[in-house]
Amino acid sequence: MSVLVVGSVALDTVETPVGRADRVLGGSAVFFAAAASLLADLRMVGVVGDDYPLPELGFLAARGADLEGVVRAPGRSFFWAGRYSRDFATRETLETDLGVFASFSPDVPGGYRDSEIVFLGNIDPSLQLRVLDQMDAPALVAADTMNYWIEGAREALLEVVGRLDVLFCNDDEVRALAGEANLAEAARWVRARGPSVVVVKKGEHGAAVFARDWTFFVPGFPVAKVIDPTGAGDAFAGGFLGWLDRADLGCREDWKRAAATGSAMGAFAAEAFSVDRFRGLRLEDVHARVCALGEMTAFDPLGVPAGA
């Protein structure tokens, strides 16, 4: 199978309590790809400007990722600068320059149209729709979104939601989208509008997967030292969908394992600036974390106490 990601390919300048990185690789498509390319055949659609150091994406190509869909346009690359609070709990955007992304109109290369899994990063819903219109018949369509579109492009976003199998979003985003504080209820609201599964990302608290007849919680893999949480949510989605691709979409058990794989990937993203932690990462490093998550969550609900 294969996974197509469409999203931002950006340069980020990030200040965190433990350091700073200037004009490093960023963007939702890049973080997603860094994780998913370890697991699946990955195809990427995006746009960069004259200034983008495309060779730095070579570690993705070396794993077999197809970057033909990343086009260069005259102008500056999408640039984002942000600063995290002392406890990493909040972040402030210092600068956003859309650059060539302002006129981005994703064209899906002919060879990508048969992709079985599609992930639409949190770009303008009208662009997400444009991508879907170019696809043959993907087996699974997933998207991420953000408060900016929930507030500013609700109608188009709901049209996207209506065409999804899986929506990924943060807990505050799904609450805002549904106008409902209870997470399970908010997820039900979303499911009634299209997706059969809603994956709610909760940062260090992990994620919750809400399907029609089952719910699954995975904690955030505990990170020894957080360096930069930017992109952890996209890496989570990359691990999740990369695993589903590997499992040919699989069954409920594969979806749970997919969530654990996402949690492991999100932690790797946070352990370094940019996608640096993924450069030398091996599949067995991911498996080791998934096994560790298994030990950190498994208990015997039927156990009879010794004293009973």
- Give the 3-state secondary structure percentages of the chain, helix then strand then coil, rounded to 5: 40, 25, 35
Q: Which of 28, 119, 116 is nearest to 78 (CA)?
A: 28
Tell me: does residue 166 bind its own copies (CB under 8 A): no
Within residues 257-286, the interface with its own copies by CB under 8 A covers 257, 259-260
Residues 206-225, mask of contacts with its own copies (x by CB under 8 A)? x-x-----xxxxxx--xxxx
Can you read off the two tokens belonging to residue 295? 């030990």
Only segment of 26-34, 103-111, 140-148, 298-306 that touches its own copies (CB under 8 A): 298-306
Least separation in angstroms between residue 66's CB and its own copies is 19
Least separation in angstroms between residue 281's CB and its own copies is 18
What values do phi and psi take at 196, rounded to 5? Answer: -85, -15
DSSP track, 191-235: HTTS-SEEEEE-GGG-EEEEESS-EEEEPPPPPSS-S--TTHHHH
Tell me: does residue 232 bind its own copies (CB under 8 A): no
The rounded Cα 84 to chain-centroid distance in angstroms is 20
Tell me: does residue 250 bind its own copies (CB under 8 A): yes
Exactly one of 247, 272, 279, 285 binds its own copies (CB under 8 A); that residue is: 247
The C-alpha atoms of residue 159 and residue 156 are separated, in whole angstroms, by 5
Only segment of 69-77, 127-135, 139-147, 287-295 that touches its own copies (CB under 8 A): 287-295
Least separation in angstroms between residue 257's CB and its own copies is 5
The C-alpha atoms of residue 126 and residue 153 are separated, in whole angstroms, by 9
CB nearer to its own copies: give 160 or 208. 208
Q: In what order do the strands lie in the sheet with 66-72?
A: 66-72, 42-48, 3-6, 117-120, 140-144, 166-170, 197-201, 207-211, 215-218
Count of residues touching its own copies (by CB under 8 A): 56
Tell me: does residue 243 bind its own copies (CB under 8 A): yes
CB nearer to its own copies: give 8 or 261. 261
**Which stretches does DSSP call E strand in 228-290?**
none
Question: Which residues on neighbouring strands pair with residue 66, listed in sequence order?
Answer: 43
Tell me: does residue 54 bind its own copies (CB under 8 A): no
Buried b (16+ CB within 10 A) or exposed e, 224-233: eebbbbbbbb
Within residues 86-115, the interface with its own copies by CB under 8 A covers 86-88
Exactly one of 256, 272, 279, 285 binds its own copies (CB under 8 A); that residue is: 256
Least separation in angstroms between residue 217's CB and its own copies is 4
Residues 168-207, mask of contacts with its own copies (x by CB under 8 A)? -------x-----xxxx-----------------x-xxx-
What values do phi and psi take at 55, rounded to 5? Answer: -55, -25
What values do phi and psi take at 252, rounded to 5? Answer: -50, -40
Q: Which of 131, 136, 134 is nearest to 116 (CA)?
A: 136
Query: Which parts of this chain interact with its own copies (CB under 8 A)?
Result: 1, 17, 86-88, 175, 181-184, 202, 204-206, 208, 214-219, 222-226, 243, 245-248, 250-251, 253-254, 256-257, 259-260, 290-291, 293-303, 305-308
